[in-house]
Structure 1
Amino acid sequence: MTYSENADAMLDALSRTPNFARVAGDVLDAETLNAILGEAAKVAESAVAPVGPISDRVGARFADGRVTLPSEYGPAWDALAEGGWLGLEHEERFGGMGMPLSVFAAVNPLFERACAPFMMCAGGSRSAALLLSAWADAELRDDWVPALVAGERCATICISEPEAGSDVGRIRTRAEKGPDGWQVSGQKIWISFGDHDLRDRIGHCMLARTGDAPGTRGLSLFFVERGPGVICERIEEKMGLHGSPTCALRFEDAPAVLIGEEGRGLPQLFTMIRHMRLSVATQGLGIALGSYDVAREHAESRRQGGDPKAPAVPIIQHADVQRQLMAMKSRIDLFRLALVEAACAADLSGDDPDMARLCSWLLPLIKNFGAEMGFDCAHAAIQVLGGAGFTKDYPVEQYLRDARVFTIYEGTTGMQGQDFLLRQTLAEDGAAVKVFLKIAAAECAEHTGALAVVERFGAFAEEVTDADKARLPGMADAFLRAGWVAVQAWLSVRIAETGEAAFFRATAAAELELRIAAARAA
């Protein structure tokens, strides 16, 4: 599928999502939406996609304390900035387009397909802009947010430290307040685009300890600009994402500005968790789209087998290749619907408590299974290509390496499982799962197979609620996967007429039983 066809498929998914009509209202008409997706496809293909192989083969370079990016990054970044793509979902008062989050979720997979490593820079700046918009004082906010939205400056999110990755309660970086204001000292690692030459000014949003309270209670949120006291020590040598410099930064009495309320750093940081998980989901979908396209095109042109007395046939005529391609496309089509549904629930969550619950319940699913899908589709594409897929003549080996980290950052699979079961499903006496079951059962009423899967999951969720609490952490991964089968069963009725839905339905009930058995055995 071309970029334009990817855009059309997303438009179709939006049209099949009842909640998107509520989001769009009278403000976002079909003509405007078509124009946005169509233009995004053009920019992604013409301006960003050429950077893809360069990001891997040239990559980011580190020397003398500074990071240098491929020269081709500059024009690509300018294209994003000039088109307003960096501020698509940001408020108009800051120079953004003011579009719903669901439009961002629809558009961003096109850019992620084009070059996921390059788009990591946009992800950091977007997240920082959202954070500053929500919590920074007016002076800092009005200085930095419009500049980030316009692409004139860049920003990062600095959380991880040595011995304190996901366990943020062990963060040791400290902030001290003196007569001239706050200063931060400590080390941060795993910082995407922590240093580079794309723009001169880079801001860092970071957690630092400001009191003696243990764990997360003593953490506050700060903003530090690259300059005195900010040292880039190295960039990591990684399996993939070579074009995204992953930096280790050291802060030595670096001037800092407190963001929001002292001691409330972690809750404030969670302001952007929804956006960050959606972003990873779009990364996975983007990689999957690119992988499927390469596999499909190769299968149509590569000739092998058939009657030995006749010319060889395109391998797409072979049943097993057809099966592999259908498996990829089925996952993509169902995931696309789930991504849109979660984003629409986010857009509606401010005025609808049930949508807020549904959004929070879906987020661990789309983050994790979007991430897994990206890697798995790259793996499947390599298999379709055979030995050619193992070479650098095709981009799928890069896709595989780039996508491997998606299930790790922004919360590992294990963390998503714990969140999904312990914090989302069991919270409020199971209110979120009840919302899901109510909506899904109503929509599946005339589709007995899908309804049976949804109801079976509902019964299992009740069973888990009564399980020994000590067993729940071990059950979380299997429960997460059972929930994903149920969500796909629900959404499969929206494309019930397609072969992709039939392919999923053929094994959905059996897969759900496997997940239930795995959870019970934990």
Structure 2
Amino acid sequence: MSFADQADRTIATLALTPGWARLQALRPDCDNVIVATMLDAAAGFAETVLAPLNAVGDRVGAQVADSRVVLPPGFVEGFRQYAEAGWLGIDAPAAFGGQDVPLTLQAACAPLFDRGCMALMMAAGATRGAIHLLAQTADAATAAEWGPQLVSGEWAATICISEPEAGSDIGRIRTKAQRRDGHWSITGQKIWISYGSHDLASRIGHCLLARTNDRPGTRGLSLFLVPDHIGGAPNGVTLERIEEKLGLHGSPTCAMRFRDARAILLGEEGRGLPQLFAMIEPMRLHTGCQGLGLASAAADIAEDYATQRRQGGRPDVAPPTIGSHPDVIRQLHDIRSATEILRAAVLELATAMDLARLEADAGLADFAAWMLPLIKTFGAETGFDTAHAAIQVLGGAGYVRDYPLEQYLRDARVMAVYEGTTGMQALDFLTRRLWRDEGRGLAVFLRQARAELAAAAPSGRAQAVGIVLDGFEALSARMLAMQADPDAALYRADSYMRAGWTAVSAWMAFRLGADEAIGILAARHALHSARCA
């Protein structure tokens, strides 16, 4: 398997992405030579520094010692090297000591790092999200204190939302924040906190939602930064336990207790949840990158194995490689197609998010918001599904630990759960992106996809994708009309989101010239549309 090949595929896909050409025109510091050099360096770092940690992290796992998490051998040094090389702050503001490159380049490099060691990169993902959150919501003093320390990796951060009785139902959060002696104090319990405790950094800041008033639901929630230590002294933040999990053994998932912990209010009181999306959105994009990293590795393993493993054929001659068997050819095609379509879609979203910040085009922001639940959901599913399919190619060899596929499968499973479950993403895609936004992001998607079809020479594949787009537009009109019967609409939300992904995938397949995939996607779109009937 080749990290360098993954970097080359990313560069080639960027060149096919229309938004990337526009972004390069706005950011001349991101010319092709610089981008190729950066991706080459990322591939080398991921292969030589991160990848050797992956099996160790899975085998040893995170441990608790003296009321603190101790990470597997090599993790602390790997994280230090990652931060010192500038990867942690690659898209962070220059004011924090970051490189301030476009998000697209970060999204191009991240799958390489997650392919190397996803468990360690869970820490980097939360800290990156906190950097963006503080840049948007923190007061000047807090931003100046925390931003550079997070970028350097000296300090780290978490996102603290879930509680025992409040998972996806955020409005039921009971952790309380009270104003005492001129400062805020936090009391409550948080669970499912990735890297809530660890020995990577000397200080951890918890980006936490807590209730500051008696208003029901999310309206009573405010956002805080809660340091685990202040002035070198403990700040009422303790580790209760770490979870025993199916995968990601090197990434500690913690239950945390806060007892009168001093906190810093971020942004406006009572607007905690909407403000937190400055952190949630890059983390959801990162989920797509995680899935892409694992899918890229799984595809490479399956392809490499198929060129070496010999089975079948006439008994009187040497057996052929299994890569020559028609059914294996089909399996490899499906694995590679799904991986490259996801790669194209991740880069499409990242460029849209960059352009939405650089240009006064509200439509791009709507389009990015529309794409985000798709990338989060189907990045997660593609990571899992490709590992599953690659195991099938290898047969018994894929099921044992001689190959990392079984670890990829276990590690990937949680991606469809954290950062908003698949069901939550489907509700968002229907009720917010179609109903509340009145289909504005959908309209941009259809306009851009049809413009790309129109710019190409007429062909049967362009016609086939056009039919898918027309079908999804008609389906969206029917789902828009179902607001009068919300229960019936919500029952169909998952199928509607899947129809949306097949439409996006058909667009990306056209861009990549993946003709066979277009026919398969058209059939899938018809199935998902039928389930919405």
TM range (shorter): over 0.9
Contact (CA 8 Å) 1:112, 1:286: kept in 2 or not? yes
Equivalent-residue separation in structure 2 for 1:136 and 1:469 (angstroms): 42
Equivalent-residue separation in structure 2 for 1:190 and 1:508 (angstroms): 36
Contact (CA 8 Å) 1:342, 1:363: kept in 2 or not? yes
Contact (CA 8 Å) 2:129, 2:278: kept in 1 or not? no
Equivalent-residue separation in structure 1 for 2:481 and 2:176 (angstroms): 43
Judge which range, 384-393 or 428-437, deviates more: 428-437
Question: Under a length normalisation based on structure 2, what TM-score does the superposition of the two structures give?
Answer: 0.95
* Aligned twin of 1:186: 188
Give 1:396's match in structure 2, choosing from 402, 405, 415: 405
Shift of 1:392: 1.1
Identity value in percent? 50
Partner letter of residue 382 of structure 2?
A: M
Give 2:212's match in structure 1, choosing from 206, 210, 213: 210
> Residue 408 in 1 paired to residue 417 in 2?
yes
Equivalent-residue separation in structure 1 for 2:224 and 2:481 (angstroms): 42
User: What does residue range 98-177 of structure 1 map to in structure 2 within 5 Å?
Assistant: 98-177=100-179
* Aligned twin of 2:231: none
Equivalent-residue separation in structure 2 for 1:13 and 1:402 (angstroms): 26
Partner letter of residue 471 of structure 2?
A: R
Give 2:480's match in structure 1, choosing from 455, 465, 477: 465
> Residue 263 in 1 paired to residue 270 in 2?
yes
Give 1:484's match in structure 2, choosing from 475, 496, 501: 501
User: What does residue range 97-496 of structure 1 map to in structure 2 within 5 Å?
Assistant: 97-179=99-181, 181-226=183-228, 227-350=234-357, 351-445=360-454, 446=458, 447-467=462-482, 468-470=484-486, 471-496=488-513
Three-state SS of the structure 2 residue aligned to 1:184 is: strand
Contact (CA 8 Å) 1:155, 1:204: kept in 2 or not? yes
* Structure 1 segments of 4+ aligned residues over 4 angstroms from their partners: none
Partner letter of residue 480 of structure 1?
A: M
Judge which range, 390-399 or 443-452, deviates more: 443-452
Equivalent-residue separation in structure 2 for 1:66 and 1:82 (angstroms): 24
Equivalent-residue separation in structure 2 for 1:49 and 1:363 (angstroms): 28
Judge which range, 172-181 or 31-40, deviates more: 172-181
Partner letter of residue 474 of structure 2?
A: A
* Aligned twin of 1:16: 16
Shift of 1:75: 2.1
Shift of 1:469: 2.9
Equivalent-residue separation in structure 2 for 1:472 and 1:203 (angstroms): 40
Equivalent-residue separation in structure 2 for 1:430 and 1:184 (angstroms): 40
Give 2:525's match in structure 1, choosing from 497, 501, 512: 512
Equivalent-residue separation in structure 2 for 1:376 and 1:205 (angstroms): 32
Equivalent-residue separation in structure 1 for 2:217 and 2:472 (angstroms): 36
Three-state SS of the structure 2 residue aligned to 1:86 is: coil
Equivalent-residue separation in structure 1 for 2:469 and 2:237 (angstroms): 52
Three-state SS of the structure 2 residue aligned to 1:237 is: coil
In the TM superposition, what whole-angstrom CA distance separates every residue of 1:223-256 from its partner, at most 9, and x where no partner exists?
Answer: 1111231110100000001000000000111111
Contact (CA 8 Å) 2:76, 2:199: kept in 1 or not? no
Contact (CA 8 Å) 2:248, 2:411: kept in 1 or not? yes
Three-state SS of the structure 2 residue aligned to 1:466 is: helix
Equivalent-residue separation in structure 2 for 1:475 and 1:462 (angstroms): 14
Contact (CA 8 Å) 1:330, 1:503: kept in 2 or not? no
Three-state SS of the structure 2 residue aligned to 1:282 is: helix
Partner letter of residue 179 of structure 1?
A: D
Shift of 1:432: 1.7
User: What does residue range 47-126 of structure 1 map to in structure 2 within 5 Å?
Assistant: 47-126=49-128
Give the alignment's Cα RMSD to 1 decimal: 1.1
Three-state SS of the structure 2 residue aligned to 1:248 is: strand
* Aligned twin of 1:35: 37
Three-state SS of the structure 1 residue aligned to 2:158 is: strand
Judge which range, 463-472 or 139-148, deviates more: 463-472
Three-state SS of the structure 2 residue aligned to 1:394 is: coil
In the TM superposition, what whole-angstrom CA distance separates every residue of 1:303-326 from its partner, at most 9, and x where no partner exists?
Answer: 111111111221111111111111
Shift of 1:258: 1.2
Partner letter of residue 466 of structure 2?
A: L
Three-state SS of the structure 1 residue aligned to 2:224 is: strand
Equivalent-residue separation in structure 2 for 1:510 and 1:396 (angstroms): 29
In the TM superposition, what whole-angstrom CA distance separates every residue of 1:397-424 from its partner, at most 9, and x where no partner exists?
Answer: 0000000000111111111111111111
**How many residues are treated as equivalent by the alignment?**
516
Shift of 1:180: 5.0
Equivalent-residue separation in structure 2 for 1:503 and 1:246 (angstroms): 41
Equivalent-residue separation in structure 2 for 1:212 and 1:439 (angstroms): 45
Equivalent-residue separation in structure 1 for 2:485 and 2:10 (angstroms): 41
Equivalent-residue separation in structure 2 for 1:287 and 1:475 (angstroms): 29
Equivalent-residue separation in structure 1 for 2:292 and 2:206 (angstroms): 28
Equivalent-residue separation in structure 1 for 2:131 and 2:108 (angstroms): 20
Equivalent-residue separation in structure 2 for 1:267 and 1:181 (angstroms): 23
In the TM superposition, what whole-angstrom CA distance separates every residue of 1:203-235 from its partner, at most 9, and x where no partner exists?
Answer: 111011111111111111111111231110100
Partner letter of residue 283 of structure 1?
A: Q
Shift of 1:506: 2.4
Equivalent-residue separation in structure 2 for 1:475 and 1:519 (angstroms): 5
Partner letter of residue 399 of structure 1?
A: Y
Three-state SS of the structure 1 residue aligned to 2:240 is: strand
Equivalent-residue separation in structure 2 for 1:57 and 1:71 (angstroms): 11
Contact (CA 8 Å) 2:56, 2:73: kept in 1 or not? no
Judge which range, 311-320 or 400-409, deviates more: 311-320
Contact (CA 8 Å) 1:441, 1:455: kept in 2 or not? no
* Aligned twin of 1:4: 4
Equivalent-residue separation in structure 1 for 2:392 and 2:326 (angstroms): 14
Contact (CA 8 Å) 1:208, 1:219: kept in 2 or not? yes
Equivalent-residue separation in structure 1 for 2:172 and 2:73 (angstroms): 39
Shift of 1:300: 1.2
- For structure 2, the residue ranges without an aligned partner over 5 or more in a row are 229-233
